[in-house]
Amino acid sequence: MNTGCVFCKISEDKIQARKIYQSNDIIAFHDINPQAPVHVLVIPRRHIRNLLEADEQDASLIGRMLIVTTQIAKQLNIAESGYRIVINTNRNAGQSIDHLHIHLLGGRAMQWPPG
Amino acid sequence: MNTGCVFCKISEDKIQARKIYQSNDIIAFHDINPQAPVHVLVIPRRHIRNLLEADEQDASLIGRMLIVTTQIAKQLNIAESGYRIVINTNRNAGQSIDHLHIHLLGGRAMQWPPG
C-alpha cells in the first residue's frame, strides 16, 4: 500500500466508495465525478502507478481487469448499447490519480475524438 | 480470418497500412484518420469482434496488447508527456470496425470528458 494514495485507501476500506466489485486483486467502484450515466473505475489493489510501471508479468492482471470491466458493463446493462474504456497515463492524458485505473463509461452516445 | 474484415486484411497484408509493430498474434499500425499527432491502433491478428467476445482465456492476450501499446508509446516518445488508451465497444461508444482494436493517442493534451 502507498500510504498517500486515495485508491489504496479505498481498496483497504479506509475511504468510502460505491464499490460494485471486489476480488483478491481487483476492485471497482463508481467514479465520484461521473462523465456519463455509468462511470466506473476498475483498479488493481496493488499500487501500480500507471501502465508505464506495469511489465510483461502484469499482462494477465491487466487483461483480467479488462475482462472484469466488460463483466461490469454487462451487469450495468450498457454492454449491448455500447461502452467506452479509457486509460490515461501521465499529464497530457489527464491522469489525476497516480494509481492505475480503467475508466468504464456508458449510458450515452460518446463523441469522437475521445477528448 | 473474417473475409469481410478490413483489419483481418491488414493483418494478412492484403490491405496496406503503416504498420509499426508485428508479432505472431498482435499487430499495430497508424490510424488512417488520426485524432492526435500520434494515433495508433493495436489489434489481435485473430478476429475477435470486441471485448464482449473475449473471455477469461483471452486475458493474457488482451493484457499483452496493452503492454505492447505502452511499448509503442515509449517508442514514439509520447510516454512521458502522456497518452490515452481508448477501447470502444458497440454503437454508443462509436465502434466502427467490428474487430477488437485499442486506440493509442498522444502528442497533445487530451480533454475531459473523453468524448
pLDDT digits (tens, 9 = 90+) for A40-92: 999 999 999 999 999 889 999 999 999 999 999 999 999 999 999 999 999 99
pLDDT bucket at A108, cuts 50 / 70 / 90 = very high
Whether B99 shows a pLDDT value over 80: the answer reads: yes
Q: In this structure, is residue A111 part of a structural domain?
A: no
Bridge partner list, B67 = none
Q: Does A113 touch chain B (CB under 8 A)?
A: yes
Question: What average pLDDT does range A27-38 have in this prediction?
Answer: 98
Report residue B7 as a C-alpha cell.
483489419
pLDDT of residue B3: 81
Q: In this structure, is residue B112 part of a structural domain?
A: no
Contact A36 B113 (CB under 8 A): yes
Q: In this structure, is residue B41 part of a structural domain?
A: yes
Distances (CA, A) of A52 to A6, A9, A89, A95, B2: 20, 22, 8, 12, 33
pLDDT of residue B91: 97
Q: What is the CATH number of the domain that holds B99?
A: 3.30.428.10
B95 vs A54, A60, A82: nearest CB: A82
pLDDT tens for B48-57 read: 999 999 988 9
pLDDT bucket at B63, cuts 50 / 70 / 90 = very high
Catalytic residue among B39, B47, B99, B101: B101
Please list, residue by residue across A77-109, b when 16 or more beta carbons sit within 10 angstroms of its beta carbon and e when fewer do. ebbebbbbbbbbbbebbbbeebbbbbbbbbbbe
pTM: 0.98
Mean pLDDT for chain A overall: 97
Q: In this structure, is residue B25 part of a structural domain?
A: yes
Q: Compute φ and ψ for A71, nearest 5 degrees.
A: -60, -40
Cis geometry, peptide bond prior to residue A113 (ω within 30 degrees of 0): yes
- What CA–CA distance (Å, rounded) separates A51 from A88? 9
CA angle B1, B4, B10 (to 5 degrees): 65
| Sequence-separated (6 or more) residues with CB below 8 Å from residue A48 | A54, A58, A99, A100
pLDDT tens for B7-26 read: 999 999 999 999 999 999 99
What does the DSSP assignment read for B24-41? SSEEEEE-SS-SSSEEEE
pLDDT bucket at B90, cuts 50 / 70 / 90 = very high
Q: In this structure, is residue A113 part of a structural domain?
A: no
Q: Does A57 touch chain B (CB under 8 A)?
A: no
Number of compact structural domains in chain B = 1
Q: Are B8 and B47 in contact (CB under 8 A)?
A: yes
ipTM for this prediction = 0.97
Whether B1 shows a pLDDT value over 90: the answer reads: no
Mean pLDDT for chain B overall: 97
Q: Compute φ and ψ for A103, nearest 5 degrees.
A: -85, 130
Q: Are B108 and B50 in contact (CB under 8 A)?
A: no
Whether B33 shows a pLDDT value over 90: the answer reads: yes
Q: In this structure, is residue A115 part of a structural domain?
A: no
Whether A2 shows a pLDDT value over 90: the answer reads: no
Residue A73 structural domain: 6-106
pLDDT of residue A3: 81
Q: In this structure, is residue B16 part of a structural domain?
A: yes
Contact B81 A91 (CB under 8 A): yes
Distances (CA, A) of A24 to A44, A46, A62, B103: 9, 10, 14, 29
Cell 490510424: give the residue. B31
Interface test mutation site (partner A, options B89, B102, B111, max chain A beta carbons within 10 A): B89
A88 vs B62, B79, B84: nearest CB: B84
Q: In this structure, is residue A66 part of a structural domain?
A: yes
